[in-house]
Amino acid sequence: MPVSTFPTAHTATAAAVPTIVVVGHGMVGQRFLEALADRGLTASAGTARVVVLCEEPRPAYDRVQLTSYFSGKTPEDLSLVEQGFMEQHGFELRIGDPAESLDREARTVTARSGETFRYDTLVLATGSYPFVPPVPGKDTEGCFVYRTIEDLLAIEEYAKTATTGAVVGGGLLGLEAAGALKGLGLDTHVVEFAPRLMPVQVDEGGGAALLRTIENMGLTVHTGVGTQEVTAGDDGSVNGMSLSDGSSLATDLVVFSAGVRPRDQLARDCGLAVGQRGGIIVDEECRTSDPAVFAIGECALASDGRVYGLVAPGYEMAQTAAEVIAGKEASFTGADLSTKLKLLGVDVASFGDAHGTSEGCLDVVYADSRSGVYKKLVIGQDGTLLGGVLVGDADQYGTLRPMTGTVLPVAPEQLVLPAGAGGPVTLGPSSLPDEAVICSCHNVTKGAICEHTTLPEVKKCTKAGTGCGSCVKVIGQLLPQSQDKGLCGCFSYNRSELYEIVRALEITSYAELLDSHGREEARGGEGCEVCKPTVGSIIASLAPTVGASGYVLDGEQAALQDTNDHFLANLQRNGSYSIVPRIPGGEITPEKLIVIGEVARDFGLYTKITGGQRIDLFGARVDQLPPIWARLVDAGFESGHAYGKSLRTVKSCVGQTWCRYGVQDSVKMAIDLELRYRGLRSPHKLKSAVSGCARECAEARGKDFGIIATAGGWNLYVGGNGGATPRHADLLAQDMSDAELVRLIDRFLMFYIRTADRLERTSTWLDRIEGGLEHVRDVVVHDSLGLCDELERLMADHVRGYRDEWAETINDPERLRRFVTFVNAPDAPDPSVKFVPERDQVKPDLDILAGPVLAIRTLEGTAS
Amino acid sequence: MTTQTMNGTMETAQDTGVIRLAAGDDWFAVCDRSLLTPGRGVAALLPDGRQVALFVDRAGRMYAIDNRDPFTGAYVLSRGLVGSEGGQPFVASPLLKQRFDLATGACLDDDEVSVPVFEVRAD
Ligand code: SRM
Ligand SMILES: Cc1cc2nc3c(=O)[nH]c(=O)nc-3n(C[C@H](O)[C@H](O)[C@H](O)COP(=O)(O)OP(=O)(O)OC[C@H]3O[C@@H](n4cnc5c(N)ncnc54)[C@H](O)[C@@H]3O)c2cc1C
Ligand code: SF4
Ligand code: FES
């Protein structure tokens, strides 16, 4: 039975609500507050008074993502506290007012402001402080630590006048700090006392692989040497370091990252038990030696004798303490120290007994210094997997870690060898237990799925995959694999292979491609709804280069397009269409706005501002599309390609011209880019945005290619995505001129179009292709494949060949013929397309379509 | 010149002529064959108001099924993409992509659903 120092929610009375004082509003402190709120222990609920003493000048933020400040995240972006959270729950947050002393007898905490708070329960969440080795000169101007936003602001400011930086410590955080210094343009050194980098996480071989990769990035690494002194120049600021091997290193700036120590001083001062090497001793309930005081997060020495320097165990402690304080049972007995990180773009993972300390264990190691890949599995005498280290390629982490403690189903060497050398055997979902739930919409287990052999069968018999559709990929992996990576039943090639075939052989007809390169059984047939639009898109992307018509509805190409492209508009649920004229960069004259308004009014269209800075007109019948477009084209509008797998919009913020913060003309750049890439057909839709400064009002990092202005030019970010699986774009290159930017985007887009799969956005493509962002950077920035000239030429061809599809259509009676509802009654409007009023506009009349409504087949492909 | 097959499909060697649909006891003339693009469909209106989706495949065979997509109620099947699987031609609904056998009207993705088929010929 847990001893509660605290009445449970329903027994508390408003008159005597107990007070919880939280010292430290860091990551774990905030999680603790959320856990209290979840359990109804709040002032608003009338069950507790909660006071939070926060030392830093801002509420809790994501320290784990601290470094992303240097890639454009603002301190506000990093905040962990949802707007209104404190007010909603009545938590009293005292920013910039740290606790200075505790009186356990009186149960009071005194803050720096002088105010004293009485507590019933005290929770210490004070985190750690960076350890600075006691070397002479450690306090010289130009020496920093790397823990808080304030530290980063100070480093950033100081780096403006520095050219060289050194990081003391080659562990996890040291490498992260080194990456940041490099990003600030400093010539960067890492000094590590141990003989290898990341001594805690990886073993010698892993450290060596990491070293090579990091050196290849242009950082200088000194291992096996200690820092003896920080030296100062005449002006009193840092000018170098002397090292234990007698050498010296000239540097303008030093960042100490030699580990962290628990902040247990408050606890020590008031006589709470602390560990020999620091850390406030707590039991499984996270209670200290005083039952009214809890300690959680990095300041605590957990009951398993460990101080955890990771956030996940801290979060578990926060949950445990909150649960116990609420009068329930909970315990924290220790956590897994497995880690998977992307350090400076290098995958590093370690799990279980990574160092092979168990008796009689064996290592199975694969190392390739050229590619910087190192993989080690630690295997027990009886064949059980005990742990491992993966550097450079950590894809198997997800499946290997859960298998720790079990005997591997295949020979371990098969798991570490690369393809072509007897491996790799990837342990996908096949290694999950039968009881694992695969489809959470319908609660279907792996066992139930594996009774079937095809996806349609699984869907029919178990319903798995018929809800949100997100499990379909895993189901596919569980079903018997045909080893067939082909696009569909008609082609054994994938999209990028077909792209190469079309390009090399200059094939301009789908039928020709199907009959010459299709699967034997598909040749001469009709093809299918998967490969037809895919090939249609490939031919359209390459049209000027292979000599096909650039007009997607010419000849046979017309038969390949999805219905949206076929009518150059977006099909709606009642069979009507929507129209989205292009509004480059979101900039539009009043005259043009008026035309859109008039057209919408005259044709009775529903009008809506889209999320892409333009205007969508809904509810046009097929036969109304040409007259509507005749008016729009006349007023200077072009197709917005809302229907195509092609460039959608390049959003802009108002930028330098008007905005007090702007540093470049983001509107002009957005318009230029939109006009350059309009009409470009691609594997999936392409979106872009340009922001005039790092405040990022255009949300460029949510786009396939996003541009953010800097004082020195433009930064290009790639691989961003909103939608179902959001992803922030990664920085590809910095501070480019207009011309450099455009050239790099040309290359990037053409490389994507060439190598991506069907319906693969840049985000998934970037995560899938071997080598990821680094590889793409090698190809498009450093021209490692010698492709750049060709990529640029392909784009130049596209830009030269662009014509507005709608202008071409309305000027050609032959092409206009398809825009009728009925082939035998061209003047008859579609009787099933009807509307009813709603909020002063119209909406589809679905009653006339009514009939049995049946389940949808799949999510994929439902979009234009 | 033409040979009528079961299930309302028929074959012809030329691409001129008038397409006709069986409507009651009559063959209702729809349009000239040349108005159809192989691999793509068009919608036709029958005198009684019914909507038919007409298709012609690469080999010149014609098919006619009801234009109403039973999954959404929208009259759009004529705007779907034509494909074939194991020699059997189908159309994929442009809305939610269920496939319908052009010869039988059966939905290939749901046993319980089908659409009516019409007899069609060209002369
Ligand atoms: C109209 C609009 C919603 C609105 O009223 O604001 C819209 C409407 C549609 N979106 Fe969207 N999306 C619209 C902005 C967005 C945005 C916001 C943005 O672009 O800034 C997103 C998230 C950003 C992103 O794409 O990364 C967005 C993410 C999606 C997705 C999910 C994509 C993903 O990668 O997860 C789909 C589905 C797909 O493409 O597979 C989708 C698909 C669709 C389709 C095409 C679905 C369909 O086939 O019917 C909708 C058709 C619109 C039509 O008929 O005209 N729409 N959609 C917006 C049009 C913007 C424009 O001017 O072109
Ligand atoms: C650059 C960096 C990268 C990291 N990367 C990872 C990672 O990839 N994965 C991972 O798991 N962990 C990572 N960590 C560690 C992670 O940030 C910590 O584990 C986590 O922040 C611990 O949370 P905490 O609340 O215990 O401590 P903190 O977040 O440090 O919060 C403690 C707070 O208490 C305040 N405080 C201290 N004393 C007082 C006082 N007397 N009165 C009032 N307030 C006080 C401090 O100012 C601080 O704000 C990283 C850390 C850094 C610095
Ligand atoms: S991103 Fe910067 S320049 Fe653009 S509107 Fe926002 S604050 Fe202004
Ligand atoms: S998880 Fe299977 S359909 Fe949603």
Closest Cβ opposite residue A824 in set B30, B71, B99:
B30
The length of chain B, given as a count of residues: 123
- A708 has which bridge partners? A691, A715
CA of B82 to the centre of ligand 4 (A): 28
- Minimum distance, in Å, between the CA of residue B109 and any CA atom of chain A: 7
Interatomic CA distance for residues A756 and A336, integer angstroms: 37
Say whether A532 and B37 touch across the interface (CB within 8 A): no
Up-side HSE of residue A711: CA atoms within 13 Å toward CB? 0
B-interface mutation test, from A824, A830, A832, A849, most B Cβ less than 10 A away: A824
**Cα–Cα dist A472/A397, whole Å:** 22
pLDDT digits (tens, 9 = 90+) for A518-573: 999 899 899 999 999 999 999 998 988 888 887 888 888 888 888 899 999 999 99
pLDDT tens for A579-629 read: 999 999 999 999 999 999 999 999 999 999 999 999 999 999 999 999 999
More confident call, A849 vs A20: A20
Per-residue pLDDT for A60 more than 90? yes
How high is the pLDDT of residue A404? 72
Rounded to the nearest angstrom, the minimum Cα separation between B102 and chain A is 12
Q: Does B95 sit within 8 Å of A571, measured CB to CB?
A: yes
pLDDT at A436 over 80: no
Taking residues A117-144, report their average pLDDT: 95
Of the candidate ranges A3-17, A337-351, A587-601, the one whose mean pLDDT is the lowest: A3-17
SS3 A107: coil
How does pLDDT run across A756-765, given as a tens digit for each residue? 999 999 999 9
pLDDT of residue A863: 35
Contact A688, A705 (CB under 8 A): yes
Region of residue A754 (left: phi > 0; alpha: psi -120 to 50; beta: else): alpha
Mean pLDDT, chain A, as a whole number?
87
- Is the pLDDT at B13 greater than 80? The verdict is no
Q: Which of residues 825-854 of A touch B (CB under 8 A)?
A: 825, 828, 830-832, 846, 849-854
CA-angle at A17, arms to A11 and A23, nearest 5°: 120
- Taking only the tens place, the pLDDT of each residue in B62-116 is 999 999 999 889 999 999 999 998 888 999 999 888 899 999 999 988 888 899 9
- For residue A559, the distance in angstroms to the closest alpha carbon of chain B comes to 5
Return the pLDDT at A8: 44
Query: Is it the case that residue A391 has pLDDT exceeding 60?
Result: yes
Test B45 with A822 for CB contact under 8 angstroms.
yes
Note the pLDDT tens digit of each residue in A790-828.
999 999 999 999 999 999 999 888 888 889 999 988 888
For A725, the enclosing helix (H) or strand (E) is none
Please report, for residues A428, A569, A831, B33, the alpha-carbon distance to residue B76 in angstroms, rounded to integers and kept in the order given.
Answer: 40, 14, 12, 20
- DSSP 8-class letter at A849: G
- Rounded to the nearest angstrom, the minimum Cα separation between A449 and chain B is 18
Tokens matching residue B23 = 């409507």
Give the closest ligand to the alpha carbon of residue A66: 2
Q: Distance (Å, rounded) from C-alpha A389 to C-alpha A377? A: 7
Tell me the best of A444, A462, A470, A473 to mutate to test the pocket of ligand 4, counting ligand atoms within 8 Å of each CB and taking the most.
A470
Nearest to A760 by CA among A857, A862, A682, A648: A682
Provide the CB-side half-sphere exposure for A254 (13 A, CA): 30
For residue A448, give Cα distances in angstroms to A442, A458, A468. 11, 9, 18
From A437, A441, A857, the mutation candidate for ligand 4 (largest count of ligand atoms within 8 A of CB) is: A441
- pLDDT score, position A350: 79
Q: What global pTM score does this model have?
A: 0.55
pLDDT at A470: 53
- pLDDT band at residue A860 under the 50/70/90 scheme: very low
Residue A409, pLDDT above cutoff 80: no
Within a 10 A sphere around the Cβ of A387, how many other Cβ atoms? 25
- At A281 the pLDDT is 97
Task: Give the model's pLDDT for residue A445.
Answer: 81
Lowest mean pLDDT among A286-300, A677-691, B93-107: B93-107
Q: What percent of chain A has pLDDT over 70?
A: 90
Task: Pick the closest to residue A175 from A160, A158, A193, A191 (CA basis).
Answer: A191
Q: Give the per-residue pLDDT at A402.
A: 60
What kind and span of H or E run contains A662? none
ipTM above 0.95, yes or no: no
CB contact under 8 A, A526 and B51: no
For A457, phi then psi, to 5°, come to: -65, -45
Residue pair A614/A649 in contact (Cβ under 8 Å)? The answer is yes
In a mutagenesis test of the A interface, which of B57, B76, B113 is the best target, namely the one with the most A β-carbons within 10 Å?
Answer: B76
Centre of ligand 3 from the C-alpha of residue A652, in Å: 9
Q: How far is the CA of A454 from the centre of ligand 4 (A)?
A: 16
Over range A157-167, report the average pLDDT: 94
Is residue B39 helix, strand or coil?
Answer: coil
- How many residues appear in chain A? 864
Q: Residue A302: which pLDDT band, with cuts at 50, 70 and 90?
A: very high
Mean pLDDT of A63-74: 84
Domain that holds residue B59: 3-122
Q: Which residues contact A64 (CB under 8 A, 6 or more apart)?
A: A27, A311
Kindly report the backbone phi and psi dihedral angles of residue A774, in degrees, each rounded to the nearest multiple of 5, phi listed first: -60, -40
Task: Give the mutation candidate from B28, B75, B115 for the A interface (greatest A CB count, under 10 A).
Answer: B75
Residue A169 has pLDDT above 50, yes or no: yes
Give the integer Cα–Cα distance in Å for A491 and A507. Answer: 15
Question: Could you tell me where the beta strands, DSSP code E, fall in A198-338?
Answer: 220-223, 227-232, 238-243, 248-250, 253-256, 260-262, 280-281, 293-295, 300-301
Residues framing ligand 3 (Cβ under 6 A): A 653-655, 659, 661-662, 666, 691-693, 695-697
Tell me the β-bridge partners of A167: A190, A255
Cα end-to-end span (Å), chain A: 59
pLDDT for A335 equals: 74
Of B39, B68, B96, the CB nearest to A856: B96
Find the A572 Cα to ligand 1 centroid distance in Å: 13
- Which chain A residues are closer than 8 Å to B72 by Cβ? 573, 849, 853
Partners of A522 on chain B (C-beta within 8 Å) are 84
Provide the pLDDT for residue A610.
96
Which residue would you say has higher pLDDT here, A175 or A637?
Answer: A637
Q: What is the pLDDT of residue A387?
A: 85
Q: How confident is the model at residue A421 (pLDDT cuts 50, 70, 90)?
A: low
| Of A8-17, A622-631, A688-697, A710-719, minimum mean pLDDT range | A8-17
Give the pLDDT of residue A14: 44
Query: What percent of chain A has a predicted confidence (pLDDT) above 90?
Result: 59
Q: Taking phi first (over 0 means left), then psi (-120 to 50 degrees means alpha), and beta for anything else, what does residue A512 get?
A: alpha
Mutational pocket test of ligand 4: of A437, A442, A461, A474, the residue with most ligand atoms within 8 Å of the beta carbon: A442
Mean predicted confidence (pLDDT) in A144-172:
94
* Count of domains forming chain B: 1
The helix/strand/coil state of A353 is coil
Question: Would you call B54 and A857 a contact, using CB atoms and an 8 Å cutoff?
Answer: no
Residue B16 Cα, gap to closest chain A Cα (Å): 16
Number of the ligand 1 atom closest to the C-alpha atom of A684? 39
CATH number for the domain harbouring residue B113: 2.102.10.10
Indicate whether A468 pLDDT > 70: no
Helix (H, G, I), strand (E, B) or coil at A814: helix
Name the A residues in 410-469 with CB < 8 Å from any B CB.
456, 460
Distances (CA, A) of A334 to A124, A304, A760: 18, 6, 41
Burial of A743 (0-12, 13-18, 19+ CB in 10 A): middle
Compute the average pLDDT of residues A726-730: 93
pLDDT digits (tens, 9 = 90+) for A89-104: 999 999 999 999 999 9
User: Which residues have a Cβ under 8 Å from the Cβ of A481 and sit 6 or more positions away?
Assistant: none
- Stretch A347-356: mean pLDDT: 77
Q: Which residues of A touch B102 (CB under 8 A)?
A: none
Which residues line ligand 1 at a C-beta cut-off of 6 Å?
A 570, 572, 578, 580, 608, 610-612, 614, 616, 642, 648-649, 685, 687, 721-724, 761, 863-864
User: With bands split at pLDDT 50, 70 and 90, how would you rate the model's confidence at A853?
Assistant: very low
Give the pLDDT score at A343.
62
The pLDDT-based confidence of B5 (bands split at 50, 70, 90) is very low
β pairing state of A373-379 and A362-368: antiparallel
Q: A31-45, A314-328, A424-438, B26-40 — which is least confidently predicted?
A: A424-438
State the sign of the Cα–Cα–Cα–Cα dihedral B77, B78, B81, B86: positive
For residue A592, the surrounding DSSP H or E stretch is: helix A590-603
Whole-angstrom Cα distance, residue A721 to residue A729? Answer: 7
Confidence of residue A437 (pLDDT cuts 50, 70, 90): low
Measured from the Cα of A570, ligand 1's closest atom is: 54
8 A C-beta contact, residue A642 and residue A616? yes
Is the Cβ pair A526, B83 closer than 8 Å? yes
The separation between CA A601 and the C-alpha centre of its own chain, rounded to angstroms, equals: 42
pLDDT at A423: 45
* Residue among A47, A44, A21, A35 nearest A90 (CA): A44
